[in-house]
Amino acid sequence: MLNHASAKNGIPKESELHALGIIAGACHGGYLVLTKKASRAGNPLQTLCFQCAVGTLLLSPQAFFTFELPPVKTIWLFAVMGGFSALAHFMTIKAFQYVDASTLSSLVYLELVGAVIFGLFVFRDIPDIPTILGALLIAASGFILQRYHSMMERRALSASQGLG
123-163 pLDDT, tens per residue? 999 888 998 898 888 888 878 887 887 888 889 888 888 75
Domain termination residue (choose one: 72, 98, 124) = 98
Are both 151 and 86 inside the same structural domain? no
Model confidence, pTM: 0.69
User: Can you give the length of the chain in residues?
Assistant: 164
Count CB atoms within 10 A of the CB of residue 44: 19
C-alpha to C-alpha distance for 60 and 6, rounded to whole angstroms: 28
Domain that holds residue 61: 11-98
* Burial tier of 35 (Cβ tally within 10 Å: 0-12, 13-18, 19+): buried
Number of domains in the chain: 2
Q: Mean of the per-residue pLDDT values for the chain?
A: 84
Q: How far apart are CA 70 and CA 78, in angstroms?
A: 9
